[in-house]
Amino acid sequence: MDVDGSVILPVVAAAVYREEMAQAILTFKRRGQHQLENALAKGLGRALRSSLGERTNVRLVPVPSSAAAYRKRGFSPVHLLLHNLWLHRELAGFVVVDALTKTSWLNGGTMAPGGVAALPRVVNNNGQKGLGRGQRARRVRGSMMSRITRRRLIRGQPCIIVDDVLTTGATLAEAARALHAAGGIVLGAVVLSATSAPDAGGVVPEVRRGSDGHKDLEKNKRRKDE
């Protein structure tokens, strides 16, 4: 996967986004069902271990949900899965750092925080569904930045980006850009599932612990009524 057209970002996926897996992820993201959470977390955990082997002390940086999605669900799917892995002691050697946040588009998309030039936003009431590679890239460019209070935890440290579904790679590329700008060393990304891009001819993209991390996970515990 290309980042800014020059850097290849290796990505490991737990599964291909189709049929039962696609339905399971959609149901989990909409309802946060406990049984699905356990099953999906195990898959994500295997992908994480596969991507890093024996390497330890790596920062796991979840891709943030949009404010609208968080208000609708009441939780972040990626954070919830990481919290599940932590509860089951599956994150030994990793440090989860909630280092990224979504930004606001300024002046019609002409400039994003940190001085990053941003192209005009693509209007689509269905989020990124149905958008091609170029449209997704334009939509997310400049949409993330690092949290000021977490920069010291990722500066000069090896980082793995964690997300639920990989489609075109635009979201991961933007997360990698924001981490790199904050001084993080981006090793790659791990996703729960990967799907073919809408304009890529059906080709699936090539995919092959600390107190602060615990706090990041704690804030995404399941609500009692879920």
What is the pLDDT at residue 208? 60
pLDDT of the residue at 147: 94
The per-residue pLDDT for 191 is 95
Ranked by mean pLDDT, the top range of 28-37, 53-62, 120-129 is: 53-62
- Does residue 199 carry a pLDDT above 50? no
25 neighbors 80 (Cβ within 8 angstroms): no
In contact, 162 and 63? CB cutoff 8 Å: yes
- Residue 82: pLDDT over 60: yes
* pLDDT tens readout for residues 8-17: 789 999 999 9
Beta bridge partners of 102: 144
CA separation for the pair 121, 141 (Å, rounded):
9
Residue 216 has pLDDT above 60, yes or no: no
78's enclosing H/E stretch is helix 77-87
Tell me the pTM. 0.74
Amino acid at 105: W
What is the reported pLDDT for 47? 94
Average pLDDT in the 65-80 region?
A: 87
Greater pLDDT, 29 or 6: 29
Return the top range by mean pLDDT from 104-118, 139-153, 204-218: 139-153
Q: What residues have CB less than 8 Å from 44, skipping those under 6 apart?
A: 14, 81, 82, 85, 162, 190, 192
pLDDT, tens digit, 9 for 90 and up, residues 138-180: 667 778 999 999 999 999 999 999 999 998 888 999 999 999 9
Task: Return left, alpha or beta for 201; rule: phi > 0 is left, psi -120 to 50 is alpha, else beta.
Answer: left
Cα separation, 83 vs 213, in Å, equals 10
- CA distances (Å), 212 to each of 14, 152, 194, 215, in order? 26, 11, 29, 5
Residue the block writes with tokens 């898959």: 43
Average pLDDT over every residue of 89-110? 75
Which DSSP symbol is given to 132? -
| Fold of the 2-218 domain | Rossmann fold (3.40.50)
Q: What per-residue confidence (pLDDT) applies to 200?
A: 44
Residues 6+ apart with CB under 8 A from 122: 131, 135, 138, 139
For the chain, domain boundaries: 2-218
Give per-residue pLDDT as tens, 28-47: 988 877 789 999 999 999 99
- Please provide the DSSP assignment of 5-44 as one string: TTEE--EEEEEESSHHHHHHHHHHHHH--HHHHHHHHHHH
